[in-house]
Chain A
Amino acid sequence: MNNRILKEKFVGKIMLILVIFSGVLILIMGIALYIKARPILAVKPFWELMFSLSWHPLRGEFGFLPFIMGTLWVTGIAVIIAIPFSILSAIYLSEYASKFVREWTKPLVDLLAGIPSVVYGIWGVLVIVPLIKNHIAPFFGTFSTGYSVLSAGIVLSIMVFPIIIHISLEVFNSVSNGMKEASLALGATKWQTVKYVVIRKAMPGVIAAIVLGLSRAFGETMAVLMVAGNVAKIPSSALDPGYPLPALIANNYGEMLSIPLYDSALMLASLVLLLVVLFFNIISRIVLIRVEKSTQ
């Protein structure tokens, strides 16, 4: 009896320590990046760096805006494509598909999550880039090399599908049958039931799924780097190339470090990326709490 209570306390403590540890880890990473970024912050104020357009390391100009915009474009496009597709897929799988389809599709979707991102990148180069160059850009009457924020967005959206589908599927499945039956028994159609009851009840979980997908999208490096074009200019349309923050860091870290302040600038870029993801997570947490209150 005593032993059991002791164990209970012990396990509780261990878990608490693990939780604190993971929180502290982010803090430590943030501080470390900040220390490394200090040399450049000593020369130029933070906001000037963030809002400057000019990226000429040899001249000592480190403007981050093109990269921030590149990240936002790529992530934005990915999200616009991924959200409707993956949520509708999850609804189809949980509410409409036959048992057979459900049981075959689920492992396939999960398999998508395990494919290394280089493979997605190569697929993007071989399929999406030519598609945009030869068909989509001419369709809109413009020219594009195909290496663009649109390509990166498309590849990225496919990479976040499995995360969003998997989690929202779990969430939809957790809506009780009794609740769906209550709606159907009133004469509601299946779609009305899905729209007004299932999605409503599942909304907080679906938002959490999207947030997780998005967090991955912000930080995904390899595949994006291979198709985004990597030109340090703000993209003016989806068919223009872009240069997202993670690609900047991965492409240059370890190579150009002889240039003064370059290394410090990259650290600042990492710090900004970390802050962006953190900021985004906090905002979505707030939204989540609001939504949870309204859908009880």
Chain B
Amino acid sequence: MELKTHISVQNLNVFYGNEQALKNISIDIPDKKITAIIGPSGCGKTTLLKSFNRLINTIDEVKVSGKVFVDGENIFEKKADVNRIRKKMGLLSQKPYPLPMSIFDNVAYGPRIHGMNDKKKLSAIVEKYLIEANLWDELKDRLHSPASKLSVGQQQRLCLARGLAVEPEIILGDEPTSALDPRSSKHIEERFLALKNDYTVIIVTHILRQAKRLADYVVFLYLGELIEHGPAKEIFENPQMEMTKEYIKGVIS
């Protein structure tokens, strides 16, 4: 498999206070593929994901060392423009967090804060991304009702549309289906498969079957260390490390 690198992590260490959550991680995340980060609970998956868009820096008492290159730019450099970096990435969290406003305003929020004010263009953007998130038909008649009234599955797709509306290159998902029912999960998974042609997708998941269904590339973390990474096929069919074998067989969980 020919892989172009999109995000390159070099010697990344993250500390919460005195506790080290990530230990000297170095990986290259391939461009326009789905990368799954797997590993048991508490191994640092969310921490790694939040390092990619520097949300990690919003937490009290966090220390980060090392480099993360996105499109060749080290995002942890002092003069890096955090807001521009974050705009490059859409985030789907474990639980959907619709903003306290209408469905329309949720999707238009990103473009608006980045200076887009043209009403017609905003309407077009909202429509385009609601279609892309597979929500348009369900919601087109009540765009101006509060987003909090939607079902959780709809909210998660709305969050996807909201993330896509800032035209990111990368989509980060932190167990994006864990709060959803099977049907909504399937919806989201289908979206991811459709999106990988245009976006680099990185999802955290602890559902191995989901990783098998979606991932082209797999990163396995254990207790803050990077144990193994590689194309999904190799990791699932022929893991090199003992730990990975055990995790995939379901011995460690």
**Chain A residues with CB under 8 A of B159:** 182
Tell me whether B253 is interfacial, beta carbon within 8 Å.
Answer: no
Given contacts A186-B90, A187-B110, 6 further A-B contacts (CB under 8 A): A181-B91, A181-B93, A187-B83, A187-B113, A187-B166, A188-B83
Contact of A186 with B93 in the complex, beta carbons under 8 Å? no
Chain A interface SS verdict (over half)? helix
The CA of A182 and the CA of B100, in the complex, are separated in Å by: 11
Instruction: Please report which residues of chain B, range 128-168, place their CB below 8 angstroms from some CB of chain A when the two chains form the complex.
Output: 146, 148-149, 159, 162-163, 166
* Other-chain residue from B53, B97, B100 in contact with A200 (beta carbon distance below 8 A): B100
The complex places the Cα of A99 from the Cα of B95 at a distance, in Å, of 26
Give per-residue flags for B91-107: 1 if the beta carbon is below 8 A from chain A beta carbons, else 0.
10101010111000000
Q: C-beta contact mask, A186-213 vs B, less than 8 Å → 1, else 0? A: 1111001000110011000000000000
Q: Is B89 interfacial (CB 8 A cutoff)?
A: yes
Of the candidates B58, B86, B100, B146, which one forms a contact with A186 in the assembled complex, judged by CB atoms under 8 Å apart? B86
Q: What is the bound-complex CA distance between A158 and B233, given in angstroms? A: 67
Number of chain B interface residues as a range: 20 to 34
Is residue A41 within 8 Å, beta carbon to beta carbon, of the partner chain?
Answer: no
Within 8 A of B (CB), among A273-294: none
Q: How far is the CA of A296 from the CA of B106 in the complex (A)?
A: 12
Q: Which residue of B lies closest to A99 (CB)?
A: B60
Measured CB to CB, the nearest residue on chain B to A295 is B100
Q: Which of A176, A178, A186 contacts B162 (CB 8 A)?
A: A186
Interface assignment of B33: CB less than 8 Å from any CB of chain A: no
Interchain CB contact under 8 A, A182 and B91: yes
B residues with CB within 8 A of A: 53, 55, 58, 60-61, 83-84, 86-87, 89-91, 93, 95, 97, 99-101, 109-110, 113-114, 146, 148-149, 159, 162-163, 166, 172
Interface residues in chain A, defined as those with a beta carbon under 8 Å from any beta carbon in chain B = 98-99, 176, 178-189, 192, 196-197, 200-201, 295-296
CB < 8 Å neighbour of A187 from B61, B84, B99, B100: B84
A289 to B110, CA, bound (A): 28
Q: Chain B nearest CB: distance from A106 CB in Å?
A: 15
- The reply to whether A201 and B163 form a contact with Cβ atoms under 8 Å apart is no
B55 engages A186 (CB within 8 Å): no
State whether A186 touches B109 (Cβ < 8 A).
Answer: yes
Decide if B146 touches A296 in the complex (CB within 8 Å).
yes
Contact A182 B97, beta carbon cutoff 8 Å: yes
Q: A185-B89, A186-B109 are in contact. Are A296 and B83 (CB under 8 A)?
A: no
CB–CB A189/B99 < 8 A: no
Are A181 and B146 also in contact (CB < 8 A) when A186-B166, A196-B109, A197-B99 are? Answer: no
A234 CB to closest chain B CB (Å) equals: 43
**B87:A187 contact, CB within 8 angstroms:** yes
Instruction: Report how far A184 CA is from B54 CA in the complex, Å.
Output: 10
Residues of the A chain whose Cβ atoms lie less than 8 Å from the Cβ of B146:
296
Chain B residues whose CB sits within 8 angstroms of the CB of A184 once the complex forms: 55, 58, 86
**Docked complex Cα distance between A196 and B102 (Å):** 13
How close is A55's CB to chain B, nearest CB, in angstroms?
49
CB<8 Å pairs between A and B, sample of 24: A98-B60, A179-B100, A181-B97, A182-B91, A182-B93, A183-B99, A184-B86, A185-B53, A185-B89, A185-B172, A186-B86, A186-B87, A186-B109, A186-B163, A187-B84, A187-B87, A187-B114, A187-B166, A189-B83, A196-B99, A196-B113, A200-B101, A295-B100, A296-B149
